[in-house]
């Protein structure tokens, strides 16, 4: 018999039914009812930790690693913060937009807002920003009561 977070349950859905937590885990496929814990020994845990850290340093995404290992994404993210695992700066730079936190200049704003003859994707490529960033900027600029760049 195992202890559940809510009540005592023997994890047999036919015999006594499952508590809410156990049933939800069984329904999502997170926990197999009849299987023992996957990583019970210290060696297994250390092996899992080494594998996960190497995959993350290599640049693999947290969601991909979590699904293959069988843990939740939030749990794996918490583990990485505890273990102080970081990705190399070159891999982080490729994942982000090139001009993520740079302010808009007047010329960039003018090109993004007034050049409606160019498709939005091409405007984003010319500016070196993501399509979502350009679309968001146009939407926000249109709703502004003031006109800082004098484009309206």
pLDDT digits (tens, 9 = 90+) for 58-74: 888 888 898 888 888 99
Q: How confident is the model at residue 94 (pLDDT cuts 50, 70, 90)?
A: low
Q: What percent of the chain is modeled with pLDDT above 70?
A: 65
In this predicted structure, the answer to whether residue 55 has a pLDDT above a threshold of 80 is: yes
7 versus 96: the higher-pLDDT residue is 96
> Are 101 and 83 members of one domain?
no
Cα gap 128→57, rounded to integer Å: 27
pLDDT score, position 40: 60
Q: Can you give the length of the chain in residues?
A: 152
Q: Is the CB of residue 21 less than 8 Å from the CB of residue 6? A: yes
Total domain count, the chain: 3
What residue numbers bound the domain in which 75 lies? 42-94
> Are 102 and 136 members of one domain?
yes
> Are 152 and 104 members of one domain?
yes
> Are 106 and 83 members of one domain?
no
Cα gap 94→87, rounded to integer Å: 11
> Are 49 and 90 members of one domain?
yes
pLDDT score, position 21: 64
> Are 104 and 142 members of one domain?
yes
pTM of the model: 0.40
Tell me the three state secondary structure of residue 124.
helix
CA nearest 95: which of 57, 54, 59, 53?
59
């Amino acid at each position: 018999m195992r202890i559940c977070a809510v009540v005592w349950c023997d994890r047999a859905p036919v015999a006594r039914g499952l508590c809410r937590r156990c049933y939800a885990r069984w329904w999502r496929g997170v926990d197999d009812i009849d299987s023992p814990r996957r990583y019970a020994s210290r060696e297994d845990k250390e092996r899992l930790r080494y594998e996960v850290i190497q995959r993350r340093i290599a640049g693999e995404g947290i969601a991909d690693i979590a699904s293959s290992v069988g843990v939740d994404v939030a749990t794996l993210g918490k583990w990485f913060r505890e273990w102080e695992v970081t990705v190399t700066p070159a891999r982080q730079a490729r994942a982000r937009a090139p001009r993520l936190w740079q302010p808009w200049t007047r010329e960039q704003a003018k090109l993004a807002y007034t050049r409606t003859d160019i498709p939005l994707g091409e405007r984003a490529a010319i500016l070196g920003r993501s399509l979502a960033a350009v679309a968001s900027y146009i939407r926000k600029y249109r709703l502004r009561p003031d006109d800082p760049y004098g484009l309206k």
